[in-house]
Structure 1
């Protein structure tokens, strides 16, 4: 029998992502978010929940652009730090020793040490309560060669993406089954 739990955001694991934006003076900033996911395939779009009070939210409204970085497990300390302090008070990239380059398609920074980055254009925002739901179109994707298969596809095991869940950050386990394949045996009579 299942035990009834408190009704709260409980859908795990969540991807831990780092959102990059430029502030009003053009300085790069980064913020950790765990409430993110793909929401559309044509055009490719993602959503992120961000509090309206965050500098990142102000920045993305101003520039209509953001980058979404997928950190690997080895960047857990930096990823957590980006969620602990505000870019209003501290230069987070300088503190971590990270560098960035301008996005190739959007007016947002690409943080060099993260192995996967999605460059995005703002589509819409919707107030949901404590957070704004940001919908953004993915207009460019870039990955380090070290996280790609020989065929040039993303290798999730090599990426070793950082996830967020109860009590902290996690890595992913082994492949449990191939999508659109493992369930086919149940199709047979």
Structure 2
């Protein structure tokens, strides 16, 4: 028998992404988000949700762009810091030792040290309760060669992204390989 836990943000896991944006003074900033995911295939789009009170919120609206920087296991402390400090009074890049790089495609910075980056042009924003859902069209994906599979795509065991468990507020690494998608279920047909 299952126990009812009521309405809550208990879907697991969620990503740990650092959203990059330039503020009104042109300073690069990062906001750690866990409410995000791919939301469309054609055109390729990603969504991230931020509260209007965050420093990055208005920056994304003003610049019509953001980056998604996939946080990796080696940068858990920096990712956590970027979620608890405010860009209004802290230079998060300087505080964490991360290096901002200005995207050549969109008006937003990305993190040089992170191996997987999505450069996004703001397609639309939607108010959803206490958050704004930003939908960005992915203009390019940048990946370090060291994290690519032989087929030329990011390999999860090389990227080593951080995942988050809401409510309990825990960070985790990703587990091992289980099987090929759209294949292992065929035996049940």
TM-score, normalized by length of structure 2? 0.96
TM-score, normalized by length of structure 1? 0.96
CA distance in 2 between partners of 1:71 and 1:173 (Å): 16
Return the offset for 1:128: 1.0
- Spell out, residue by residue over 1:90-141, the C-alpha distance to the aligned partner (whole angstroms, 9 max, x if none): 1010011111111121010011011100000001111111111111110010
* 1:117 alignment partner in structure 2: 117
CA distance in 1 between partners of 2:145 and 2:134 (Å): 29
Question: Following superposition of structure 1 onto structure 2, how do residues 166-177 of structure 1 map, counting pairs within 5 Å?
Answer: 166-177=168-179
Question: Following superposition of structure 1 onto structure 2, how do residues 25-174 of structure 1 map, counting pairs within 5 Å?
Answer: 25-165=25-165, 166-174=168-176
Match of 1:181 among 175, 183, 186: 183
Aligned-CA RMSD value: 0.9
Q: Per the alignment, in what secondary structure is the counterpart of residue 93 of structure 1?
A: helix
* 1:22 alignment partner in structure 2: 22
Equivalenced residues, count: 187
CA distance in 2 between partners of 1:31 and 1:161 (Å): 16
